[in-house]
Amino acid sequence: MTFWLFAYAFLGIAPFVQLRFGQDTDTTASVNHDLDWEASGAILIGCVVMLLGVALGQIQRKSHRSMQSATPEARPRASIPNHRAVTLLTVITLGIFGYYASRVGFMQLFSSRMTLDSIRSRIWPDSTTAAIFTALTQMGLLVCVVAQIFLRRIDTGYSRRVVPSLLFIVSLISLVISTNPISSARYIFGTAALALVTSYGAVSSVRRFRIFSITSLVGMIYVFPIADMFRWSLSPTVKSQSPLTSMLSGDFDSYSQIVNTLEYVHVRGEVGGSQLAGVLLFWVPRSIWPGKPIDTGVLVAQFKGYGFTNLSEPIWGELLINGGIVLLIVGMFVLGLVISKLDRRLDETISHTGLPGVLGCILPFYLILVLRGSLLQSMAYLAVLLVGYRVISIGRASESAPFGNLEAGN
């Protein structure tokens, strides 16, 4: 769902409006429109190849279901977080939140986004360190809260315990404070808000899923552009009232950045995977690795000579600049396989518990930021999400309790 929401809104509607009006977004001037057909072709190739990856994954899914039917003991088991692991991770994450809040100042957590960014940069001059501490706080708390909601909804005994109930209240309040819509990036706040809504059954039926999908698309077009109103100050600033005008803003620069990336490749050549190396080693501080690659969006913006460089870089552009059309085909095919596998697990969990599970409540919405890029910018939160999920899955009940033994949430 989220892949196609992104592709439709950011790489479908937005570029159609921009090309139809003959205007570039306000952050990406002088786009080389001689490359429009090449950029459009790259986008379509990426989508088609992703579909092929999904198709192969569906074939594997059917084979998997046939095996389950033939072998009863091979039936899927409940992907239930381990109670003790969730409690331990919650305590650790609350400690990290306490440290984070004490360093930046509790009241500063309600300042504008740029003010808080400035404070973090003074406390942690290395941008990698600042990003990791922020991700550990915000995404760490989100994983803990969603895991606790999941346990409370499928296990009535867990919800009656005093300690888990107190931890849930404290961690939920801490999440609301650390990920409030004033100082947090809209992607992070949006991920948290949608994850909480989903954890209470927003997609637990086909009808709810359809309503949720349509609402998300409308929100992406109408709400997303104005959700950045507290970026510069505490006085809300609405950038535009018309959705058509919003499509000409920097919020929808994805298509322009793909065109700019192709121009970069034509002029300077591919980077030979160096940008991806920076993504994989995102956790290495720049103080240790002075030559660590910058965000690909920033790299392309500097190439174009833009004054404002905090631009997006869709996954299509990331793959093209690192390895051209070959890497685009391979990368999008692998992405299709991964999406198909995740969807299969999500479907199985919903069908047996009524809920998508911890990862299924969070990852689909954070995928929007991963797709929009830059990849380097999104890696800290993604890593915390995946590591946190693995921690709460250690020795989980799914290894011994089949779905049928659980009390499913409605």
DSSP secondary structure string for all residues of 12-67: IIHHHHHHHHT---TTS-S--GGGHHHHHHHHHHHHHHHHHHHHHHHHHHHHHHHH
Residue 172 domain flag: yes
What SS3 state is found at 231? coil
Q: What is the DSSP-derived secondary structure letter of residue 126?
A: S
pLDDT at 406: 41
Is 354 inside any structural domain? no
- 255 plus 316 within the same structural domain: yes
Q: Are residues 200 and 100 part of one domain?
A: yes
Q: Could you tell me if 296 and 276 are in contact, meaning their C-beta atoms sit under 8 angstroms apart?
A: no
State how far the Cα of 321 lies from the Cα of 266, in Å rounded to an integer: 10
Q: Based on the domain organization, do 305 and 263 belong to the same domain?
A: yes
In a domain, 351, yes or no: no
In this structure, is residue 63 part of a structural domain? Answer: no
What are the two backbone dihedrals, phi and then psi, of residue 282, each rounded to the nearest 5 degrees?
Answer: -60, -30
Tokens 């550990």 -> residue: 136
Instruction: Tell me the helix, strand and coil percentages in the chain, rounded to 5.
Output: 75, 0, 25
Q: How far is residue 229's CA from residue 241's CA, in Å, rounded to a whole number?
A: 12
Residue 238 placed within a domain: no
Burial of 61 (0-12, 13-18, 19+ CB in 10 A): middle
CB 382 within 8 A of CB 70: no
Number of independent structural domains in the chain: 2
Predicted pLDDT of residue 38:
94
Q: Which of 278, 303, 326 is the last residue of a domain?
A: 326
How much is the pLDDT for 235?
65
pTM confidence score: 0.86
Distance (Å, whole) CA 189 – CA 227: 10
Task: Please tell me whether residues 276 and 182 are part of one structural domain.
Answer: no
User: Are 103 and 210 found together in one domain?
Assistant: yes
Last residue of a domain, one of 306, 326, 346: 326
Give the span between the Cα atoms of 370 and 258, in whole angstroms.
15
pLDDT score at 202: 83
Residue 219 forms part of a structural domain = yes
Q: What is the pLDDT of residue 357?
A: 84
Kindly state whether residues 146 and 215 are assigned to the same domain: yes
Residue 77, classed as helix, strand or coil, is: strand
Provide the residue range defining the domain that includes 45: 2-50+250-326
d(C-alpha 177, C-alpha 381), whole Å: 17
Are residues 103 and 219 located together in one domain of the fold?
yes
The reply to whether 311 and 379 lie within a common domain is no
153 part of a folded domain: yes
Residue 86: exposure state from Cβ atoms within 10 A (0-12, 13-18, ≥19): buried
Which of 326, 353, 377 is the endpoint of a domain? 326
Residue 117 and residue 216 in one domain = yes
Q: In this structure, is residue 405 part of a structural domain? A: no
Is 348 in contact with 288 (CB distance < 8 Å)?
Answer: no
Amino acid sitting at position 274 = S
Structure confidence at residue 67 (pLDDT): 61
Q: Do 89 and 218 sit in the same domain of this protein? A: yes
Q: Are 92 and 179 in the same domain? A: yes
Residues 217 and 258 in one domain: no
Q: Average pLDDT across each block of 10 residues of the chain; the chain has 410 residues. List them in order.
A: 91 92 88 93 95 88 64 54 88 94 88 85 88 92 92 74 84 92 86 90 84 87 73 62 80 92 94 90 87 91 90 94 94 94 84 82 92 90 93 63 39
